[in-house]
Amino acid sequence: MSKTQEILRAPHEQIEKIQLEGIKRTAINCYENIPFYKQSFDEAGFDPHSIESFDDVARAPFVEKQDLRDAYPYGMLAVPLKEVKEIHMSSGTTGVATVGAYTKHDIDIWGECFARGILFADGSDEDVVQVAYGYGLFTGGLGAHYGGHWMDATVIPISAGNTERQIRVMRDMGTTILCCTPSYAMHIADTAIEMGLDPARDLHLRAGIHGAEPFSDNFRAELERKLGYKVLDVYGLTETMGPGVANECWEQKGLHIAEDHFYPEIINPETGEVLPDGEWGELVLTTLDREASPVVRYRTRDITRIIPGQCPCGCSHRRIDRIHGRTDDMLIIRGVNVFPSQIEDVMKTFDQVSSWYQIEVDTDHRSLDIVTLKAEVNPGFELDSVAAVERLQKEISATLKTALSVGVRVKLVEPKSIPRSEGKAKRVIDLRKEK
Ligand code: ADP
Ligand code: ZN
């Protein structure tokens, strides 16, 4: 059994010991080498040398995305620049980019963490791993690439885009594991079907490792049906490493955090208080052995919970639930909090509409929020029949109202009228910000 397989099954007490030591080491390192932490810990009266228990950790101040932005470009480096072997930046989905730096050791750990997802997919050195995440500053491409190498698998570094070639390569090379965003996987699936292929028969896919954005259970089921494989979720973020911070196992009952490299906490985003396992809140992460860009209590803004109890797969590392979305994406529609993924889940119960949607938020003349869900109909559903269109729009709207208690206008649109994405899909258009 490899060292990784061993640690994945180690008793949780052993992992907790690694965590406490790792947190203390990281906090002292940050305090001594990064001026931001020196100031922030001193202001909070927090002495990193005093960490003896997880309760002590909960007294440490948080670090936020804005702090990392303010430190651009090298303000959060904990090692001399010459030890940094690679630099990535967040894709800037929600503003100015943040920097993630890696030493040689950090890159090794990254590969090992992503490879856990491949191991969970029952992968081995016999697999052909097609990396259709974008390569470049975005962490998706190289994270999956290092994971494939760590497994000694055959890696196809095709990157995102050129979808028809992507599919031909997948077929000809016998790709068994596809790594890309879930929205790009859906685009690949639809394109393959349009090319006249039966993906479940003509391709050799066994598993898809899809992450970097939220996707609903229904979206997952549709992908699995179209591509004839199993979809495993992978979570990560540039600020702590990239994809591989947590990987879903074959059970599909949550994502195992790489707990020997990251310490997770769930907090109430309003009060900052640590919540018990099982409760939903914001994920906060501390790196345990990151050299170049360590973080202590980084607020990810991602909403999830720690799933209580043991996973039937036998891995002892705790699981986070599939990410609902980030606090910045949460729509507050007339006082009700909703994530786009919850709207998607309801929408996907209607056969007449496809997986492509966009949510537009605007205000009316009384400054009240109006939310419009634009949903593409499936080919075969005729938009010329006004009565049928109105009926379906009303039905979806009423179902959303019952399920989520929000008023959403539904507008059915032509197939393929919503832009396809090769990376993360743009699900929400907030016109209020443009006013
Ligand atoms: P950006 O913040 O610019 O998008 P990253 O590329 O580092 O930068 O993306 C990290 C973010 O992507 C996470 O904080 C999270 O919001 C989202 N994300 C990553 N993996 C998943 C996943 N499996 N499910 C849902 N959201 C995810
Ligand atoms: Zn498991």
- Summarize pLDDT for 259-286 with one digit per residue, the tens: 999 999 999 999 999 999 999 999 999 9
Q: What pTM was estimated for this model as a whole?
A: 0.94
Q: Distance, CA 386 to ligand 1 centroid (Å)? A: 39
Q: Which ligand is nearest to the CA of 232?
A: 1
Task: Give the ligand 1 atom nearest the CA of 239.
Answer: 7
Q: Which ligand is nearest to the CA of 246?
A: 1
What are the structural domain ranges in the chain? 86-328, 336-434
The strand order across the sheet containing 428-430 reads 409-413, 369-377, 353-363, 428-430
Counting as low any pLDDT under 50, the low residues of the chain are: none
What superfamily does domain 86-328 belong to in CATH? ANL, N-terminal domain (3.40.50.12780)
Task: Give the ligand 1 atom nearest the CA of 138.
Answer: 6
pLDDT at 369: 83
pLDDT at 365: 85
pLDDT at 406: 86
What are φ and ψ of residue 288, in 5° steps?
-100, -25
For atom 11 of ligand 1, the residue with the nearest CA is 237
Using CA atoms, how far apart are residues 329 and 334, in angstroms rounded to an integer? 15
Q: Distance, CA 238 to ligand 1 centroid (Å)? A: 8
Q: Distance, CA 89 to ligand 1 centroid (Å)? A: 12
Q: Distance, CA 290 to ligand 2 centroid (Å)? A: 25
Task: Give the ligand 1 atom nearest the CA of 92.
Answer: 3
Total length of the chain: 435
Q: Distance, CA 314 to ligand 2 centroid (Å)? A: 6
Q: Distance, CA 196 to ligand 1 centroid (Å)? A: 33
What are φ and ψ of residue 262, in 5° steps?
-135, 140
Give the pocket of ligand 1 (CB within 6 Å).
90-94, 138-139, 211-214, 233-238, 300, 302, 323, 326
Task: Give the ligand 1 atom nearest the CA of 246.
Answer: 23
Q: Which residue has the tokens 């929020």?
A: 369
For atom 12 of ligand 1, the residue with the nearest CA is 212
Using CA atoms, how far apart are residues 361 and 334, in angstroms rounded to an integer? 12
For atom 9 of ligand 1, the residue with the nearest CA is 237
Q: Distance, CA 99 to ligand 1 centroid (Å)? A: 14
234 in Cβ contact with 117 (< 8 Å): yes
Using CA atoms, how far apart are residues 393 and 383, in angstroms rounded to an integer? 11
pLDDT tens across 45-74, in order? 999 999 999 999 999 999 999 999 999 999
Q: Which ligand is nearest to the CA of 182?
A: 1
pLDDT at 328: 80
pLDDT tens across 393-417, in order? 999 999 999 999 889 999 999 999 9
Q: Ligand 1: which of 68, 93, 255 to mutate, judged by most atoms within 8 Å of the beta carbon?
A: 93
Q: Distance, CA 233 to ligand 1 centroid (Å)? A: 12
pLDDT at 91: 65
pLDDT at 92: 67
Q: Distance, CA 131 to ligand 1 centroid (Å)? A: 17
Q: Ligand 1: which of 99, 113, 142, 213 to mutate, judged by most atoms within 8 Å of the beta carbon?
A: 213
Q: Ligand 1: which of 91, 110, 142, 237 to mutate, judged by most atoms within 8 Å of the beta carbon?
A: 237
Per-residue H/E/C for the chain: CCHHHHHHCCCHHHHHHHHHHHHHHHHHHHHHHCHHHHHHHHHHCCCHHHCCCHHHHCCCCCECHHHHHHCCCCCCCCCCHHHCCEEEECCCCCCCCCEEEECHHHHHHHHHHHHHHHHHCCCCCCCEEEECCCCCCCHHHHHHHHHHHHCCCEEECCCCCCHHHHHHHHHHHCCCEEEECHHHHHHHHHHHHHCCCCHHHHCCCCEEEEECCCCCHHHHHHHHHHHCCEEEEEEEECCCCEEEEEEECCCCCCEEECCCCEEEEEECCCCCCECCCCCCEEEEEEECCCCCCCCCCEEEEEEECEECCCCCCCCCCCEECCCCEEHHHCEEECCEEECHHHHHHHHCCCCCEEEEEEEEEEECCCCCEEEEEEEEECCCCCCCCHHHHHHHHHHHHHHHHHHHCCCCEEEEECCCCCCCCCCCCCCEEEHHHHC
For atom 8 of ligand 1, the residue with the nearest CA is 90
Q: Distance, CA 120 to ligand 2 centroid (Å)? A: 8
Domain 336-434 has CATH 3.40.50.800: no
